[in-house]
Amino acid sequence: MTERLRFYQTGSFAVRNRLLPVVDASVQSDPGRANAITSGHRACQGCGEALGARYALDAAMRASGGRMVAVNATGCLEVFSTPYPETSWQIPWMHSLFGNAAAVASGVAAALRVTGRDDVRVVAQAGDGGTVDIGLGPLSGMFERNDDVLFICYDNEAYMNTGVQRSGATPPAARTMTTPAVGPHPGAPFGQGKDLPRIAMAHEIPYVATATVADLRDLEDKVTTAMSIRGARYLHVLVPCPLGWGSASRDTVRVARLATESGLFPVFEAHDGEVTSVTPIRRRVPVEDYLRIQKRYAHLFGEPPATGVIAHIQATADRNIRRYRIEEAPV
């Protein structure tokens, strides 16, 4: 987690603080950053996944001294970046299937190890579908074997690439193609879904963390920490999707910020299965502030509004805040 700097205008909240020494600057402020995924990709306007991937991989590139391979599952990130014959990747990058990114990455790591190339690091990345649903088996194996891979999940809370179907990471009440806003319980059901950061922690792997595109410094610090550790590591990044969430393209960072400030998306890190730091909430907001700016929740705000459902979602946020003791986190 980022040590917050208290002085000067923006402290460490913005991408750069011109009055801080260059060594404290973010990777993204560096004109020489790797730009792992460069311009010309076909992601939607304001895509959180494209942004999150560049943030994470550029930081991993710096941490590994540019000696790194990325393995990518099928999903938006793969499809919008590599339509033949073009690629946006400016790093060694490899794609196989939707469900096997963890297995392929384990294989790459093993191959590097047997050829004595353990200076080259391996990162695997997938969407939430590729992580929590179809890819969960290989991922759990990778965790259990403690393979030397950093697995990054870009969580946009549905199967976006194929047209917004519900995944095991879709939050309750959200409208998707497969959980339409009709009937007595519109949107995705309550009581289902998988909390992958906690599942990863249950494997007691060396490092598990969550982050969002709304807090660059925090994300970069977590990638850097992860890259300093050997073994299986898991980073879960919330990446809003303007298309699937029905939010304005300019609001991608704002939505992610409201997700954390409402308590719906707890930001923390855990070593060996134990939570070691929690990012505090600066200005707590009711979940309604977060829900209202997304069309996937529009059915909650009709006439009359679904106050019971909103209260249920609020209770989830409150529970997160209790569970991770967010209010006790040092500001």
Partner 1 sequence: MNGRDGTPFAITLGVGSSLANKTGSWRTERPVYRNALPPCNDACPAGENIQGWLYEAEGGDYEAAWRLLVADNPFPAIMGRVCYHPCQAACNRAHLDEAVGINAVERFLGDAALQAGWELPAPLPDTGRSVLIVGAGPSGLSAAHHLRRAGHRVVIREAGPLPGGMMRFGIPAYRLPRDVLDAEVGRLLGSGIELHLDDRVDDLMAASRGFDATFLAVGAHIGRRAYIPAGESAHILDAVGVLRDTADDQPPLLGRRVVVYGGGNTAMDAARTAKRLGAEEAIVVYRRTRDRMPAHDSEVAEALEEGVIMRWLSTIRHVDEGSMVVERMELDADGFPRPTGETEELAADSLVLALGQDVDLSLLDGVPDLEVVDGVVTVDDRMMTGHAGVFAGGDMVPSERTVTVAVGHGKQAARTIDAWLRGEEYRHAARPALADVTSLNTWYYTDAPASVRPTLDLVRRISTFDEVTLGLDEDTAVFEARRCLSCGNCFHCDNCFGVCPDNAVRKFAEGSGAGDNGRDYAFDLDYCKGCGLCVAECPSGAIDLVPEQI
Contact set with ligand TPP (CB under 6 A): 49, 74-77, 98-99, 126-130, 156, 159-162, 167
Identify what 29 binds: Mg ion, partner 1, ligand TPP, none; CB under 5 to 8 Å per kind: partner 1
- 111 contributes a contact to partner 1 by CB under 8 A: no
- 198 contributes a contact to partner 1 by CB under 8 A: no
Confirm if 24 and 76 have CB atoms less than 8 A apart. no
- 247 contributes a contact to Mg ion by CB under 5 A: no
State the DSSP H helix or E strand holding residue 220, giving kind and residue range, or none if neither.
helix 216-227
Q: Which is nearer to Mg ion, 245 or 290 (CB)?
A: 245
Identify what 130 binds: Mg ion, partner 1, ligand TPP, none; CB under 5 to 8 Å per kind: ligand TPP
Q: Which is nearer to partner 1, 86 or 272 (CB)?
A: 86
264: region left, alpha or beta (phi > 0 left; psi from -120 to 50 alpha): alpha
Q: Which is nearer to ligand TPP, 77 or 108 (CB)?
A: 77
Burial 60-91 (b: 16+ CB within 10 A, else e): bbbbbeeebbbbbbbbbbbbbbbeeeeebbeb
Residue nearest to ligand TPP (CB): 127
- 72 contributes a contact to Mg ion by CB under 5 A: no
Residue 19 exposed, middle or buried by CB count within 10 Å (0-12, 13-18, 19+): exposed
- 115 contributes a contact to partner 1 by CB under 8 A: no
Residue type, 28: Q
Minimal distance, residue 285 CB to partner 1, in Å: 12
Q: Cβ–Cβ contacts within 10 Å for residue 246, how many? A: 16
Q: Which residues inside 55-74 make contact with partner 1, applying CB under 8 A?
A: none
DSSP letter assigned to residue 27: G
Identify what 10 binds: partner 1, Mg ion, ligand TPP, none; CB under 5 to 8 Å per kind: partner 1
Tokens at 146, concatenated: 């403690």
As a whole number of angstroms, the distance between CA 27 and CA 56 comes to 10
As a whole number of angstroms, the distance between CA 185 and CA 122 comes to 43
Interacting span for Mg ion (CB under 5 A) from 160-168, 170-178, 264-272, 296-304: 160-168
- 86 contributes a contact to partner 1 by CB under 8 A: yes
- 170 contributes a contact to Mg ion by CB under 5 A: no
Q: Which is nearer to ligand TPP, 159 or 245 (CB)?
A: 159
Identify what 162 binds: Mg ion, partner 1, ligand TPP, none; CB under 5 to 8 Å per kind: ligand TPP
Minimal distance, residue 78 CB to partner 1, in Å: 13
As a whole number of angstroms, the distance between CA 16 and CA 30 comes to 9
Confirm if 208 and 200 have CB atoms less than 8 A apart. yes
Minimal distance, residue 148 CB to partner 1, in Å: 21
Best CA proximity match to 23, nearest among 12, 13, 10: 12
As a whole number of angstroms, the distance between CA 266 and CA 116 comes to 39
Identify what 51 binds: Mg ion, partner 1, ligand TPP, none; CB under 5 to 8 Å per kind: partner 1
- 255 contributes a contact to partner 1 by CB under 8 A: no
Confirm if 295 and 265 have CB atoms less than 8 A apart. no
Sheet harboring 274-278: ordered strands across? Answer: 93-95, 68-72, 121-127, 150-155, 233-238, 207-212, 268-271, 274-278
**Residue ranges binding partner 1 (CB under 8 A):** 4-11, 13-19, 26, 28-29, 31, 35, 37-43, 45-48, 50-51, 54, 81, 84-88, 216, 242, 248-254, 257
